[in-house]
A and B are shown apart, each in its own frame.
Chain A
Amino acid sequence: MKGQKQINYIKSEYIGRSLVTFCGILIVVITLAIIGFICAKGIQSFTQSGISFGEILTSANWSPNSEQPAFGALIFIVGSTIVSIGAVLISAPIAIGLAIFMNLISPKFGNRVLKPVLELLVGIPSVVYGLLGVTILIPLLRDSFGGVGFSLVAGIVVLSIMILPTIASIASDAVRSVPFEYLEASYGLGSTKWQAISRVIVPAAKSGILTGIVLGLARAFGEALAVQMVIGNTVKFPTSLYSPTSTLTGILTMDMTNTLNGTSWNNALWTLAMILLLISFIFILVIRAIGQRGGR
């Protein structure tokens, strides 16, 4: 009888518990394994191929297949940075506006229409954004501004649409979590609705909104396909918004499968992947710092 009870206890308690513990450990192990693998591959550039880290970070000379190969990745780092920041500059104000509209101006319309629309936007695969960019945006840019159309600004516009839902939904949560009393107190002091929103609600939701923006920036930085399809992938610094350039992710998707393991070219690409990883770590640290400041 007692044994029966124990088996029951094992069934009802330990199986489930060990399963979820296993899942928890598994995801940590996988994450560490990925980081370890990328770093191990990434440092091969320095240990095997004799490329200096300084050269990769500061040189703009990327000619991996010439007689005297050079692996300066500055163009890609700058390209990725400009295109992501540009996308956030467009996307963040719109997203904050949406968050305010959804929660404070018209919650009914926000919940019934805007929220599902944003969720839908998240679900659209990036290749579709890329295709839309190539078939609609590129010809439009070409006809209005001349040139080829494949350009920095095309990448910025495509990315800004992609990261809009990320920023908007996090900003919306932040705005919603501001206590209702703040609004009432502002009304009590004689403020109009807009004064209350702009002077009280938004500042109170600041840290949540900032987290959304940094997450959007991180997503923009890591996005590969859609940007690669519209940005032109020319290995040179952009001279204007309408000139093509390259990004870190773009050069990775184009060359990774066509270079051989163990060659210095392939190693250099792994180093670029490692740099991408490091940059995303920095974004995470920034988010944590914002969260802690907001929490105080």
Chain B
Amino acid sequence: MKKQIMGVQKNMAKKGFKFTIAALLISGVLAGCGNAEDTANNETTDNAAKQELSGTITAAGSTALQPLAEEAATEFMGENPNVSITVQGGGSGTGINQVASGAVQIGNSDVPSKDKIEDEALAKELVDNKVAGIAFGVVVNKDITVDNLTVQQITDIFAGKITNWKEVGGKDEKINVINRPASSGTRATFEKTILNETKANDSIGTTQDSNGAVEQAVNSTPGAISYLAMSYMVGEKKEALKTVKIDGAEPTTENIAAGKYPFWSYEYMITKGEAKDAVKAYIDFVAGEDFAEKVEEMGYIPMTELNK
């Protein structure tokens, strides 16, 4: 009898132990959630130490700017060990949303905040800091023999007026248009600089969600045409697709600085109010001369070239 009771008690003890573990796990998860929010709270107040920058910076937004922002963050943290910078993706819209609501200090965006925000009071609070230029290329499948397209030809292709490559000097092959989603920053730049503010026709061709999906679709679909950020077209990806000239100009830094190549835009790091302290130092670092070489190496255009 006694043995039995003890057995039961032992059993209960075991269960109790399990409960403890479960409770610990739950509290651990909850604590984890709490931490994630803490990073948003950076406000470094020590203005005194100009040399010794410190604080936590969170940047989120544009996936086109993300690689550059991350590289800059790594170098910047190397020089300023007391600063910790986290760079997240999410898209330009997310970047502006997050910085407007104060969840992050820097919102990365391919487009100026004014183009996206309807609420004017909010738009005035945000400051668009230009940190680099980014070139885009009109890319086609490797089987396309056309090397050069005029702005008018590209406009007609994306409007659905030109549907065969022979109409622009290529072989007899159907043109397969591949778009980015209507809200994409890359597409906004494409419409602004090439299509002259008209909208790409969504009822022709197909739409792919990301640079990677566009690259794969153009690479594998005969007769395909789309547009990609040149910063994405580095390494072996450069070989996989063919970049056509626009009005005879290639997407080089020289051509863009000279105003010969139209398809490019600024990349913005948006802050709520003027940037200060560590945030300002970081933004200045990205746009500055010391980092310019790396910027060019990664396929972007340094501000120093654009300001000439």
Contacts and interface: CB of A to CB of B under 8 A. Distances in A.
B251 to A, nearest CB: 23
Interface stretch (A179-187, A213-221, A251-259): A251-259
B216 A134 contact: yes
A264 B205 contact: no
Contact of B19 (A19, A64, A228): A19
A142 B92 CA distance: 33
Contacts of B100: 260-261
Given A66-B199, A263-B118, A257 B93 contact: yes
Contacts, number: 92
B207 A234 contact: yes
B221 A148 contact: yes
B176 interface: yes
Contact of A254 (B92, B181, B203, B217): B181
Given A234-B205, A235-B202, A259-B93, A254 B213 contact: no
A232 B207 contact: yes
B209 interface: yes
Given A232-B207, A234-B207, A257 B199 contact: no
Interface in A243-296: 244, 246, 253-255, 257-265
Interface in A108-165: 134, 138-139, 142, 148-150
A234 B203 contact: yes
Interface in B93-109: 93-94, 96-97, 100-101
B239 interface: no
Nearest to A11: B16
B93 A142 contact: no
B265 to A, nearest CB: 15
B92 A258 contact: yes
A233 interface: yes
Nearest to A48: B118
A259 B184 CA distance: 9
A142 B224 CA distance: 13
A228 B182 CA distance: 15
B146 interface: no
A59 B118 CA distance: 24
Contacts of A134: 213, 216
A31 interface: no
B90 A257 contact: yes
Given A232-B206, A244-B206, A260 B19 contact: no
- Interface range, A side: 35 or more
Contacts of B217: 148, 150
Contacts of A11: 16
Interface string B230-274: 000000000000000000000000000000000000000000000
- Interface range, B side: 35 or more
Contact of B176 (A16, A148, A229, A254): A148
A234 B183 contact: no
Nearest to A257: B91
A255 B208 contact: no
A65 interface: yes
A63 interface: yes
B298 interface: no
A284 B93 CA distance: 34
A260 B117 contact: yes
B220 interface: yes
Given A148-B221, A150-B206, A260-B96, A255 B181 contact: yes
A21 interface: no
B176 A258 contact: no
B93 A16 contact: no
Residue among A15, A229, A258, A261 with most chain B CB within 10 A: A258
A251 B182 CA distance: 10
Given A19-B19, A142-B221, A254 B207 contact: yes
Nearest to A134: B216
A236 interface: yes
B203 A236 contact: yes
Given A66-B199, A265-B183, A258 B94 contact: yes
A263 B116 CA distance: 8
Contact of A260 (B90, B93, B184, B224): B93
A51 to B, nearest CB: 14
B209 A253 contact: yes
Interface in B35-53: none
Interface in B119-136: 119
A262 B92 CA distance: 15
Nearest to A229: B213
Contacts of B206: 148, 150, 232-234, 244
Given A229-B213, A265-B183, 12 more contacts: A64-B183, A134-B216, A138-B220, A233-B206, A233-B208, A234-B203, A235-B202, A244-B206, A258-B184, A261-B100, A262-B118, A263-B116
Interface of B: 12, 16, 19, 90-94, 96-97, 100-101, 116-119, 176, 181-185, 199, 202-209, 213, 216-217, 220-222, 224
7 contacts: A16-B19, A150-B217, A232-B207, A234-B206, A254-B181, A254-B207, A261-B101
Interface of A: 11-12, 15-16, 19, 62-66, 134, 138-139, 142, 148-150, 228-229, 232-236, 244, 246, 253-255, 257-265
